Amino acid sequence: MTAIRLSFAWQRLRAVLPDPAGLAAMTRTPRHDLVAGLTVAIVALPLALGFGISSGMGAESALATTIVAGALAAFFGGSRVQVSGTSGAMTVILLPIMSAHGPAGVLTVGVLAGLLLIALALARAGRCIALVPAPVVAGFTVGVACVIGLQQLPTALGVAASGHDKVAVVAWHALLDFLARPHWWAMSVTIAVAAVLLVAASLRPTVPFSLLVVVLATVVAETAELPLARIGTLPTGLPAPSLGFLDAAALPSLIGPAVAVAALAALESLLSASVTDGMTRGPRHDPDRELFGQGVANLVAPLFGGMPGTGAMVRTAVNVRAGARSRLAALSHAAILAAIVYAGADLVSKIPLAALAGVLLATSIRMIEVGTVRALFRSTRSDAVVLVLTAVATLILDTVLAVVVGLVVAGALALRTLARNTRLDAEPLRHEEHPHHTEDEHALLAEHIVTYRLAGPLFFAAAHRFLLELSAVTGVSVVVLRMSRVNGLDASGALVLGDAIERLERRGILVYVSGIPDGHHQPLEALGVITRLSEAGQVFATTAEAIAAARDRLRNTGVLPRLAG
């Protein structure tokens, strides 16, 4: 038994380890991948610095994540062109953790989240991402973009953040502080950087303007000696790996935050990889491998002081547009970024925080796909409701809970729509089915026998309405339930059907059932709904047989006179 378990465990592990064919692909087009890696590194540098500072962990932590987690996720991940590192959504969820538990808590959460992601990969949970509806994804993106934009307000206005865990409150306090003591230089730099990036990106989307604008802002700030806050001193290399931040006593209180971080990392990484599949030709990503790669990355990065990371849609899109064809591009991005940062740490330390705030502000605006949002609003009212609720929940709650809210609302609306498709329609007896009866005989038969067609899914969301409609039937001797068009049945639906049949029979109405589809017999029989009817000979394959049996029953009991045929 132990050998079987070990063999099973090895098969699961081997399924998420790097694919040899995917690794071999790195040698086919190295020039394209190296150019793409350089382009992504140039774009990633200001984003990483900005997200690190916004999270409270600092620029050095974000750089460690971009380099260590970026390289490990590229090697072990399930997408050949995914680029991982810090992200705006992760920054949002790390802020309250940083406030409550400090840097050591954030690093511990990263390790725990990495273990959870590896467990999800081994459990083959990656394919569950397909269950997230498009309005939830769009609402989540809009909400995260708003949060990132609001996060930049204190830096953009040149005031200290209030430290509150709700970003809207922090932004409001920053605005009040600015109005009391205006700092025009910081606001001017932020607005100028954001405006240049938005205009330039619309004209030349392939050019990495973010680094160029940050360099220009830094040169101007240094030359003119502007009174702007800077990044400050950075280390000239990665620290030695250490688990010194782990505190066993704090682990129970960090389980919840770790689950939230793991859920966000899984959601964002797999969504990014899925979108990327539509932008590229070739093999699609392996969701379980991607979870494993993100798990390894988040498990190891904290040892070097790195904050939790995830697959990043912005950098991945740049990677694809720059011509990346294998995971060598993401690996080279991490290596090039390490060389840029640690060879020029002194220069990087002079970058104004207001310039990075402008980069992130422009990024948040570009995150919102106006065309997609407009299309979903025009689609259905339910899609619009889900999108808005998810966005609002992201803004006022937290990112993972927002996705849960979106899924619950989307599921409830979908069930309501599905329940509306369940129909119970009375159908008159057709004379042409019994041509041997005279008009008077057929009219007499129709007075005593009524058929009802059940159509659609018969499940818990539609069960109560179905029970009320069927139980209200009066004035007949026999009800024939036609079930050939029932395309779904759960235990609740089966029990309600049995309850309705019992209510009819208590009023002296015989019930016949016809056309039960294959696959629906088991729940009906297991719950005892049709067992007694079957034993009494009141279950038939066709409606014609059920009507004939009902007619004979009524004739034999004297309810009907003997009719022809």
Average pLDDT value for residue range 93-107: 88
Task: Specify whether 343 is located in the same domain as 462.
Answer: no
User: For the segment 392-402, what is each residue's pLDDT rounded down to a tens digit?
Assistant: 887 887 666 77
Are 379 and 484 within one domain?
Answer: no
Same domain, 493 and 351: no
Same domain? For 270 and 408 the reply is yes
Do 409 and 530 belong together in one domain? no
Question: Which amino acid is present at 67?
Answer: I
297 pLDDT above the threshold of 90? yes
Nearest to 319 by CA among 275, 283, 360: 275
Residue 565 belongs to some domain of the structure: no
Q: Note whether 218 and 350 are within 8 A (CB).
A: yes
Of 187-191, 220-224, 330-334, 355-359, the range with the lowest mean pLDDT is 355-359
What's the predicted TM-score (pTM) here?
Answer: 0.68
**432 inside domain:** no
**Total domains, the chain:** 2
Final residue of a domain: which of 391, 415, 439? 415
Maximal CA-CA distance, the chain: 110
Residue 513, phi then psi, degrees to nearest 5: -125, 140
Q: Residue 304's pLDDT is what?
A: 92
pLDDT of amino acid 492: 75
- The pLDDT assigned to 419 comes to 67
Domain boundary pick from 396, 415, 434: 415
Determine which of 1-10, 43-52, 464-473, 519-528 has the lowest per-residue pLDDT on average. Answer: 1-10
Q: Domain for residue 25, yes or no?
A: no
Distances (CA, A) of 384 to 9, 375, 388, 409: 44, 9, 6, 11
- The structure tokens 């002081």 sit at 305
Say what the pLDDT of residue 5 is: 63
Which domain, by its residues, includes 526? 448-557
Sign of CA dihedral 48, 50, 53, 54: negative
C-beta neighbour count of 124 within 10 angstroms: 14
Residue 563 in domain: no
In a domain, 158, yes or no: yes
Residue 170 pLDDT more than 90? no
Domain boundary among 390, 415, 440: 415
Pull the structure tokens for residue 527: 């719950």
Bridge partners, residue 454, by sequence: 424
Distance CA 554, CA 561 (A): 8
Nearest one of 323, 294, 356, 303 to 70, comparing CA atoms: 294
Q: Are 436 and 565 in contact (CB under 8 A)?
A: yes
Q: How far apart, in Å, are the Cα atoms of 211 and each of 42, 45, 205, 340, 444?
A: 6, 7, 14, 12, 87
Classify residue 164: in a domain, yes or no: yes
Q: Beta strand pairing status for 423-427 and 449-458?
A: antiparallel
Evaluate whether residue 185 is within a structural domain: yes
Rounded Cα–Cα distance for residues 354 and 361 (Å): 10
150 and 214 belong to one structural domain: yes
What CATH number did the domain enclosing 499 receive? 3.30.750.24
* CB 279, CB 134: distance < 8 Å: no
DSSP string, 419-449: HHT-EEEEEPPPGGG-TTS-HHHHHHHHHHE
User: Using 50, 70 and 90 to split pLDDT, how confident is the model at 562?
Assistant: low
Task: Determine the Cα–Cα distance for residues 144 and 306; give it in Å rounded to an integer.
Answer: 22
pLDDT value of residue 431: 47
Residue range 332-375, pLDDT digits in tens: 999 988 887 777 777 777 888 888 888 878 877 877 778 878 88
**Cα gap 86→64, rounded to integer Å:** 10
Find the mean pLDDT for residues 272-292: 80
Same domain, 255 and 326: yes
Percentage of the residues of the chain whose pLDDT score is greater than 90: 10
Sequence-ordered list of residues with C-beta below 8 angstroms from that of 126, at least 6 positions apart, any chain = 78, 120, 266, 270, 286, 287, 288, 289, 290, 291
Residue the block writes with tokens 């060389």:
339
Long-range contacts of 366-372, Cβ-Cβ distance < 8 Å, separation of 24 or more: 366/198, 366/201, 366/314, 367/88, 367/141, 367/144, 367/145, 367/148, 367/314, 368/141, 368/142, 368/145, 369/138, 369/141, 372/134, 372/138
Tokens 């708003």 label which residue? 146
Classify 310 as helix, strand or coil.
strand
Q: Residue 128, Cβ neighbours under 10 Å: how many?
A: 14
Q: Is residue 209 part of a domain?
A: yes
